[in-house]
């Protein structure tokens, strides 16, 4: 292409002269898209073409393809909090937003959009893992899905109220595995983060562990060894309740930190007979809550006993499991993480036909 200029000078007719092309002279297409960014066509520096990238009058940049940030440092400078929004196609209503943080506050990754509740899904490919290089803070109202987390066999040292750890079920604060949160100190009381009436426990799960068996100061049952039939004979330790008078045994319990203090519980006790095969024995059970700071241990406590008949096994040497259900109020209002006294005695006045000793083999407390 040639560029001509008119040089009339002193001549009567105009003269056209060719002007040499300069380095800034470019040629564009016959038409273009409104707001489109012009881009070079070829390597001559003289030819431009239309593009799918647009900048509107408000300064908004619209890309028709992929953004390739091919540099060592990639920065988004914006005086507002929102640095970047990642949108989808025309039917997408929910998207990601990245916000900066002022002094004392970290940056945030948010889900925003028109839906009321919007999940944030992070899905590694195949067996890929989500690696977190720092501690995770979980809100009180958070719902925790199954996680592959290293478990602990003991609670953290010097914890603070609100701390959370995953107990493998062997810690003294719990008898089942699960997440624990510290609700108070002195002594430490841990609660289960799960939901439901049992604080994340299911029906049949143990809610208390036995600390020790303690004979009462008077009227106590006595421990004896029940002989098995092998050679040499086994020796089963049992608590023996005589038939001539009421006899007692106390069991010190420590309730699971996951027990929410509202759900009903069940006491399951295993009995056998000294030499009876018929009849029933009357067994009474009650709780005493040993809550710190309010229970006076040297004061008399009124036990609210629940009494029921235990049927003697029909075969000598067989055992029978007896169950008694208690509401939390009937269990003296014991709470998760607390200790309690379980008192059990044979009420001989209610016996019928069980004429000799009653043997108590074991006791456990479970969620009803």
pLDDT digits (tens, 9 = 90+) for 157-215: 677 777 776 665 555 444 555 667 777 777 777 666 653 445 567 788 899 999 999 99
- Determine the pLDDT at residue 184: 73
The answer to whether 5 and 22 have CB atoms below 8 angstroms apart is no
C-alpha 306/C-alpha 310 separation (Å) is 13
- Determine the pLDDT at residue 195: 39
Q: pTM for the complete prediction? A: 0.51
pLDDT digits (tens, 9 = 90+) for 231-248: 999 999 999 999 989 999
In this predicted structure, which of 75-89, 122-136, 138-152 has the lowest mean pLDDT? 138-152
C-alpha 58/C-alpha 70 separation (Å) is 26
CATH architecture for segment(s) 206-367: Sandwich (2.60)
- Determine the pLDDT at residue 82: 66
Question: What are the φ and ψ backbone dihedral angles of 280, each rounded to 5 degrees?
Answer: -135, 150
Nearest residue to 270 via CA among 176, 344, 333: 344
- Read off the pLDDT of each residue in 44-73 and give the average, rounded to a whole number: 77
Q: How far is CA 41 from CA 34, 44, 50, 52, 204, in A?
A: 18, 8, 9, 14, 76
Q: Quickly count: other Cβ atoms within 10 Å of residue 200's Cβ.
A: 21
């Amino acid at each position: 292409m040639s560029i001509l200029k008119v040089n009339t000078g002193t001549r009567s007719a105009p003269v056209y002269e060719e002007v040499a092309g300069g380095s800034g002279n470019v040629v564009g297409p016959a038409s273009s898209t409104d707001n489109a960014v012009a881009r070079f066509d070829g390597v001559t520096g003289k030819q431009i073409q239309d593009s799918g990238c647009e900048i509107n009058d408000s300064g908004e940049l619209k890309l028709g393809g992929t953004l390739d940030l091919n540099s060592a440092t990639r920065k988004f400078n914006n005086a507002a909090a929102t640095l970047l929004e990642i949108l989808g196609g025309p039917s997408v209503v929910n998207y990601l937003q990245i916000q900066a943080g002022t002094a004392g506050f970290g940056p945030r990754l948010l889900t925003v959009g028109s839906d009321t509740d919007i999940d944030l899904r992070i899905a590694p490919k195949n067996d890929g893992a989500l690696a977190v290089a720092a501690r995770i803070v979980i809100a009180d109202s958070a719902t925790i899905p199954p996680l592959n987390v290293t478990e602990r066999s003991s609670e953290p040292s010097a914890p603070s109220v609100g701390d959370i750890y995953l107990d493998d079920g062997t810690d003294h604060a719990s008898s089942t595995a699960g997440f624990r949160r510290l609700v108070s100190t002195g002594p430490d009381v841990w609660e289960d983060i799960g939901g439901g009436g049992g604080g994340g426990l299911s029906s049949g799960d143990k809610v208390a562990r036995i600390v020790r068996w303690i004979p009462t100061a008077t009227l106590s049952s006595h421990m004896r060894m029940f002989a098995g039939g092998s050679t040499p004979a086994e020796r089963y330790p049992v608590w023996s309740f005589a038939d001539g008078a009421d006899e007692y045994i106390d069991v010190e319990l420590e309730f699971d930190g996951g027990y929410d203090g509202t759900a009903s519980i069940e006491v399951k006790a295993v009995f056998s007979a000294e030499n009876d095969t018929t009849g029933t024995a009357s067994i009474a059970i009650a709780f005493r809550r040993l809550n710190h700071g309010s229970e006076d241990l040297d004061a008399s406590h009124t036990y609210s006993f629940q009494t029921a008949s235990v049927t003697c096994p029909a075969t000598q040497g067989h055992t029978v499991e007896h169950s008694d259900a208690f509401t939390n109020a009937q269990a003296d209002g014991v709470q998760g993480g607390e200790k309690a006294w379980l008192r059990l005695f044979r009420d001989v006045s209610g016996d019928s036909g069980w004429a000799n000793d009653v043997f108590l083999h074991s006791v456990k407390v479970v969620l009803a």
